[in-house]
Protein backbone atom coordinates (compact mmCIF):
# COMPACT_ATOMS: atom_id res chain seq x y z
CA UNK A 1 0.00 0.00 0.00
CA UNK A 2 3.03 2.26 0.34
CA UNK A 3 3.30 2.70 -3.42
CA UNK A 4 -0.38 3.63 -3.74
CA UNK A 5 -0.08 6.14 -0.91
CA UNK A 6 3.06 7.63 -2.47
CA UNK A 7 1.29 7.89 -5.84
CA UNK A 8 -1.72 9.59 -4.25
CA UNK A 9 0.54 12.00 -2.30
CA UNK A 10 2.54 12.81 -5.44
CA UNK A 11 -0.63 13.44 -7.44
CA UNK A 12 -2.07 15.73 -4.73
CA UNK A 13 1.15 17.73 -4.53
CA UNK A 14 1.49 18.05 -8.32
CA UNK A 15 -2.16 18.99 -8.82
CA UNK A 16 -1.62 22.03 -6.58
CA UNK A 17 1.36 23.27 -8.58
CA UNK A 18 1.12 25.81 -11.37
CA UNK A 19 4.37 25.19 -13.24
CA UNK A 20 4.93 25.48 -16.96
CA UNK A 21 5.84 21.83 -17.43
CA UNK A 22 6.26 18.65 -15.41
CA UNK A 23 9.29 16.53 -16.28
CA UNK A 24 9.17 12.91 -15.13
CA UNK A 25 12.48 11.13 -15.79
CA UNK A 26 11.00 7.77 -14.82
CA UNK A 27 8.26 5.61 -16.25
CA UNK A 28 6.74 4.25 -13.07
CA UNK A 29 3.35 4.47 -11.37
CA UNK A 30 4.06 7.99 -10.06
CA UNK A 31 4.19 9.19 -13.64
CA UNK A 32 0.85 7.61 -14.57
CA UNK A 33 -1.32 10.41 -13.12
CA UNK A 34 -3.07 13.10 -15.11
CA UNK A 35 -1.87 16.66 -14.45
CA UNK A 36 -2.96 20.16 -15.42
CA UNK A 37 0.57 20.93 -16.54
CA UNK A 38 1.95 19.59 -19.80
CA UNK A 39 4.01 16.50 -18.95
CA UNK A 40 7.24 15.25 -20.51
CA UNK A 41 8.12 11.69 -19.53
CA UNK A 42 11.13 9.48 -20.07
CA UNK A 43 10.65 5.83 -20.95
CA UNK A 44 14.05 4.17 -20.88
CA UNK A 45 12.85 0.83 -22.22
CA UNK A 46 10.06 -1.72 -21.93
CA UNK A 47 12.17 -4.55 -20.49
CA UNK A 48 9.94 -4.94 -17.44
CA UNK A 49 7.19 -6.13 -19.79
CA UNK A 50 9.17 -9.19 -20.85
CA UNK A 51 10.12 -12.43 -19.16
CA UNK A 52 8.41 -11.65 -15.87
CA UNK A 53 5.54 -13.34 -14.06
CA UNK A 54 2.27 -12.67 -15.90
CA UNK A 55 0.82 -10.45 -13.15
CA UNK A 56 3.94 -8.24 -13.17
CA UNK A 57 3.81 -7.88 -16.96
CA UNK A 58 0.09 -7.08 -16.79
CA UNK A 59 0.61 -4.39 -14.13
CA UNK A 60 3.56 -2.97 -16.08
CA UNK A 61 1.38 -2.75 -19.20
CA UNK A 62 -1.26 -0.79 -17.26
CA UNK A 63 1.38 1.63 -15.95
CA UNK A 64 3.04 2.04 -19.37
CA UNK A 65 -0.35 2.60 -21.03
CA UNK A 66 -1.17 5.37 -18.54
CA UNK A 67 2.26 7.01 -18.84
CA UNK A 68 1.86 7.09 -22.64
CA UNK A 69 -1.71 8.38 -22.41
CA UNK A 70 -1.02 11.10 -19.83
CA UNK A 71 2.23 12.43 -21.35
CA UNK A 72 2.32 15.27 -23.86
CA UNK A 73 5.84 14.33 -24.95
CA UNK A 74 7.91 11.21 -24.35
CA UNK A 75 11.69 11.01 -24.39
CA UNK A 76 13.61 7.78 -24.83
CA UNK A 77 17.29 6.92 -24.70
CA UNK A 78 18.07 5.15 -27.99
CA UNK A 79 16.70 4.37 -31.42
CA UNK A 80 16.34 0.75 -30.29
CA UNK A 81 14.11 1.84 -27.39
CA UNK A 82 12.19 4.20 -29.65
CA UNK A 83 11.44 1.40 -32.11
CA UNK A 84 10.51 -0.94 -29.28
CA UNK A 85 8.10 1.62 -27.81
CA UNK A 86 6.59 2.24 -31.25
CA UNK A 87 6.05 -1.50 -31.69
CA UNK A 88 3.77 -1.39 -28.63
CA UNK A 89 2.35 2.10 -29.29
CA UNK A 90 2.48 2.80 -33.06
CA UNK A 91 0.22 5.87 -32.83
CA UNK A 92 2.50 7.96 -30.60
CA UNK A 93 5.33 8.71 -33.02
CA UNK A 94 4.32 12.39 -33.04
CA UNK A 95 5.12 12.72 -29.33
CA UNK A 96 8.09 10.32 -29.02
CA UNK A 97 11.62 11.72 -29.32
CA UNK A 98 14.97 9.98 -28.95
CA UNK A 99 17.45 12.14 -27.03
CA UNK A 100 19.86 9.59 -25.61
CA UNK A 101 21.46 9.53 -22.20
CA UNK A 102 23.91 12.19 -21.18
CA UNK A 103 27.41 11.53 -19.86
CA UNK A 104 29.53 14.02 -17.94
CA UNK A 105 32.61 15.30 -19.78
CA UNK A 106 34.80 14.08 -16.90
CA UNK A 107 33.63 10.51 -17.52
CA UNK A 108 34.36 10.81 -21.24
CA UNK A 109 37.85 12.18 -20.54
CA UNK A 110 38.60 9.29 -18.17
CA UNK A 111 37.46 6.75 -20.75
CA UNK A 112 39.53 8.41 -23.49
CA UNK A 113 42.65 8.42 -21.29
CA UNK A 114 42.30 4.72 -20.52
CA UNK A 115 41.48 3.79 -24.11
CA UNK A 116 43.90 6.09 -25.99
CA UNK A 117 46.51 3.36 -26.40
CA UNK A 118 43.92 1.19 -28.10
CA UNK A 119 42.56 2.41 -31.43
CA UNK A 120 39.60 0.02 -31.53
CA UNK A 121 37.71 -1.24 -28.52
CA UNK A 122 34.36 -2.47 -27.28
CA UNK A 123 32.71 -0.02 -24.91
CA UNK A 124 29.75 -0.67 -22.60
CA UNK A 125 28.41 2.36 -20.73
CA UNK A 126 25.40 1.94 -18.49
CA UNK A 127 23.92 0.73 -15.28
CA UNK A 128 25.55 -2.38 -13.96
CA UNK A 129 22.88 -4.81 -12.87
CA UNK A 130 21.77 -8.35 -13.60
CA UNK A 131 19.07 -7.18 -16.02
CA UNK A 132 21.67 -5.57 -18.30
CA UNK A 133 23.27 -8.99 -18.93
CA UNK A 134 26.86 -7.77 -18.60
CA UNK A 135 28.03 -11.22 -17.51
CA UNK A 136 27.03 -12.54 -20.94
CA UNK A 137 29.03 -9.72 -22.56
CA UNK A 138 32.11 -10.64 -20.52
CA UNK A 139 31.70 -14.36 -21.27
CA UNK A 140 31.31 -13.67 -25.00
CA UNK A 141 34.36 -11.41 -24.95
CA UNK A 142 36.38 -14.10 -23.13
CA UNK A 143 35.58 -16.55 -25.93
CA UNK A 144 36.88 -14.25 -28.69
CA UNK A 145 39.57 -12.39 -26.73
CA UNK A 146 42.51 -14.26 -28.30
CA UNK A 147 41.17 -13.84 -31.84
CA UNK A 148 40.63 -10.07 -31.87
CA UNK A 149 42.70 -7.00 -31.17
CA UNK A 150 40.08 -5.23 -29.08
CA UNK A 151 39.92 -4.35 -25.41
CA UNK A 152 36.64 -4.42 -23.51
CA UNK A 153 35.84 -1.37 -21.38
CA UNK A 154 32.90 -1.49 -18.98
CA UNK A 155 31.88 1.87 -17.56
CA UNK A 156 29.38 2.11 -14.73
CA UNK A 157 29.06 2.70 -11.02
CA UNK A 158 30.36 -0.11 -8.80
CA UNK A 159 27.69 -1.72 -6.68
CA UNK A 160 26.89 -4.97 -4.86
CA UNK A 161 26.20 -6.76 -8.13
CA UNK A 162 29.51 -5.79 -9.72
CA UNK A 163 32.47 -5.46 -7.44
CATH code, domain with 40? 3.40.50.2000
The pLDDT confidence band at residue 94, using thresholds 50, 70 and 90, is very high
Nearest to 28 by CA among 10, 39, 13, 43: 43
Q: Are residues 15 and 30 in the same domain?
A: yes
Q: Are residues 94 and 125 in the same domain?
A: no
Task: Summarize pLDDT for 64-88 with one digit per residue, the tens.
Answer: 999 999 999 999 988 999 999 999 9
Integer Cα distance of 123 and 23 in angstroms: 30
Q: Are residues 69 and 110 in the same domain?
A: no
Integer Cα distance of 35 and 22 in angstroms: 8
Q: Are residues 72 and 41 in the same domain?
A: yes
Residue 77 domain boundaries: 2-98
Contact criterion met (CB below 8 Å) for 7 and 33: yes
* 160: in domain: no
* 163: in domain: no
Give the chain's domain count.
2
CA 100 to chain centre: 9
**What's the predicted TM-score (pTM) here?**
0.66
Local structure of residue 160 (DSSP, 8 states): S
Task: Summarize pLDDT for 124-137 with one digit per residue, the tens.
Answer: 888 787 777 888 99
Integer Cα distance of 114 and 117 in angstroms: 7
Q: Are residues 71 and 146 in the same domain?
A: no
Amino acid sequence: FGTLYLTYSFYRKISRQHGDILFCPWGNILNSCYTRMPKVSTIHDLQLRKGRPIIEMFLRKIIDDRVVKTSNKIITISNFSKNEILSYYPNIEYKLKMLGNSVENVQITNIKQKAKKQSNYILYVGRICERKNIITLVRAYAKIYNNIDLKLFIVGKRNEYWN
